[in-house]
A and B are shown apart, each in its own frame.
Chain A
Amino acid sequence: MNTISRNYSPEEISQHQTLGALLSRLKRTVEETYSRYEKVVAEITSVVTVKKGVRVELADYTESSGTRAKISAFIYTNVKHSFENQSGSELKDGLKVLVDLKISYSEEYGLSGNIRSIDPKYTIGDLAIMVKAMKDELSKKEIIDLNRNLPQPKDFFSVAVISPESSAGLEDFRSKLTGIPKSVCKFEERHCVFQSNKAGSNIASQIKHLNSCGENFDVIIITRGGGAKSDLYYLNDLQLAETVCLSKIPIFSAVGHDRDKTIIDEVANQDFQTPSLVASHIREVIILRATELQDTFLSIRQIADRNIENMGSNWILAWTRLSDTVSKKVHDFQQETFESYSSIRESSLSGLAENKLALNKTYNQAVSLGQSAFSDSCEDIHQSVRDITSLARDGIVKNDLFITKSHNQIVSGGQALLVNEYEEVNELNRSIVGLAENRLSCMEANANEYMQAITSSSHQLKKSVEERRKNDIKDRKKNLFIAMLLVLVSALIILFFIQNG
């Protein structure tokens, strides 16, 4: 059976104090008890710039159990500048400081401090001293640079991750690597507790195991989320630092934010501020390398294509140039041939005309000579005829005189003797005439024969000149044709050789 409790009456309610009243009493107590500034030694674990100054987180550590106390405090800008100017170092996390601190309490915001001054002489924090001491030790052993000097991984196929199980940092890391299949890159997670005195030795043993397990990891990543700097205390471990230095596999450190440096950050192959950044780096390198390979191949293909295209263009160019050259040569040859032909034609015509003129001249001279010779012959003949006729006439006259004389003598004496003499004279006279006629006809025959010979020679001369001219033109045409044929054959041979490389 359920019992329903009775409601409080207003009087009963008014008897209980409120939270505000309680905290107001606390505030009064704090103000009364901590009304003055007090000297406090603490380490700065974070610095955040705010209006009119900075807000720092002060912490107090013990080597055995880590953080013992922490409080947030405000520092005015002038106080900060004064400290930085005097100490020569920036007000940053990791510094151990001696401050004038006054505690105040707000019901709304809780406890906080106000720093009036910082002693600049007290500038080195405990953690910084610790880290420095470890670095000195590693330097002495000459191992501090071993992992840092290992070649940085060019690509990622297999990655080992050491991280606290289910930490925010690991989630960030995983989310950045979403979508990367195992065939591209395999991630092997090893979980360790990071906030424990055994953190250093646990992480170190994992690193040693990853080095010796036979897997060819490209990198070992040590990562965790941000959180307070006090949580990093456990990672400042000399054994862990030595293991990192001696690891044959490059180690990437991503154990906190940019303000949180540990000895691992100092000696690792690469130091990343956050788990997200190391994951992004791995993703980018994988993409970059694959893209580089693909781009290189595509470049090769483009260059090869371009070379082949250029080769083709060169062929076309060479072919075009050759065609142009051949066309020009053929054109020039045609021009020369035409000019030669024209020249030959002109010279032939000129020669022909000259030959014709010479022939005509020769013919005319021959005819003239023939005519002259014929005229001279005729003149000779006529002269001879005239001479003979004259002689004959003289003979006849003499005969007549002789006959007259003889007649007279006959009349006077011996008629018979005269008759005989008369007959002899007549006979002589006829002989002379016959001889003259015979000589004349011979001379005419000779003249005709001479004329015919001249005419025949003239025709033969003309025919010979004509044949010579024809043969000359024929020979020139033949030589021209042979020259054209030779040029064309040469051009074809050149083209053949160019086409066949």
Chain B
Amino acid sequence: MTSPSNFQQSLDTLKAIKEDFEKTEKMSIDDIEAKFKAAQLAYDCCKTRINEVSKLIEQSKQG
């Protein structure tokens, strides 16, 4: 189960990375790779919750 603190931390991390990507015009391939790996890690921490919520959304659509 994803903990609340992990989830919030991951969301904050992802937002910060997204902001970095949007702010920086030119980024080296190494930077892109490093940032994407960090984003992937943050996302993986919350993947269980994301999947369960996705099922919930599907249920809502069907219901």
Contact = CB atoms under 8 A, between A and B. Distances in A.
A307 B26 CA distance: 8
Contacts, number: 84
A183 interface: yes
A300 B27 contact: no
A479 B4 CA distance: 78
Contacts of B22: 303
Contacts of B4: 155, 157-158, 216, 218
A307 B50 CA distance: 26
A239 B61 CA distance: 44
Taking chain A's interface residues, is the majority helix, strand, or loop, or is none over half, making it mixed?
A: helix
Given A300-B18, A308-B32, A311-B29, A154 B39 contact: no
Given A290-B49, A297-B14, A303-B18, A180 B32 contact: no
A390 B40 CA distance: 132
Contacts of A216: 4
B32 to A, nearest CB: 5
A430 B47 CA distance: 143
A203 B29 CA distance: 59
Interface string A266-304: 000000000000000001001101111110110111011
B39 A179 contact: no
A140 B54 CA distance: 48
Interface string B1-45: 101100110110011011001100001010010011001101100
A443 to B, nearest CB: 98
Contact of A293 (B14, B21, B56): B14
A485 interface: no
A258 B52 CA distance: 33
A1 interface: no
Given A183-B52, A300-B36, A308-B29, A293 B18 contact: no
A10 interface: no
A304 B50 contact: no
A184 interface: yes
A181 interface: yes
Contact of B49 (A184, A292, A301, A303): A184
A297 B52 contact: no
B32 A293 contact: no
A475 B34 CA distance: 59
A342 to B, nearest CB: 48
A307 B21 contact: yes
B50 A294 contact: yes
Given A293-B14, A296-B18, A308-B29, A184 B53 contact: yes
A478 to B, nearest CB: 47
Nearest to A314: B26
A290 B29 contact: no
B56 A292 contact: no
Contacts of B32: 304, 307-308
A290 B58 CA distance: 14
Interface centre among B39, B42, B54 (most CB of A within 10 A): B39
Given A287-B57, A311-B29, A155 B8 contact: yes
A312 to B, nearest CB: 10
B52 A184 contact: yes
B36 A304 contact: yes
A363 B32 CA distance: 83
Nearest to B58: A179
A297 B4 CA distance: 18
Contacts of B29: 308, 311
Given A183-B1, A218-B4, A290 B59 contact: no
A301 B36 contact: yes
Given A155-B7, A157-B4, A301-B36, A184 B21 contact: no
Most chain B C-beta atoms within 10 Å of own C-beta, residue among A218, A301, A304:
A304
Nearest to A216: B4
Contacts of A157: 3-4, 7
A303 B21 contact: yes
Nearest to A296: B14
Given A292-B11, A293-B10, A299 B52 contact: no
Nearest to B3: A157
B44 to A, nearest CB: 10
Contacts of B39: 297, 300-301
A266 B60 CA distance: 33
B57 A296 contact: no
A184 B29 CA distance: 36
A216 B3 CA distance: 11
Nearest to A158: B4
Contacts of B18: 296, 299-300, 303
Contacts of B27: 307
Given A294-B43, A303-B22, 7 more contacts: A158-B4, A183-B49, A287-B56, A296-B14, A304-B21, A304-B36, A308-B32
13 contacts: A155-B4, A183-B48, A184-B52, A184-B53, A286-B56, A289-B7, A291-B57, A294-B50, A296-B15, A297-B14, A297-B40, A301-B36, A303-B18
The 9 closest A-B pairs by CB, nearest first: A290-B53, A296-B14, A297-B43, A303-B21, A157-B4, A300-B39, A179-B59, A304-B36, A183-B1
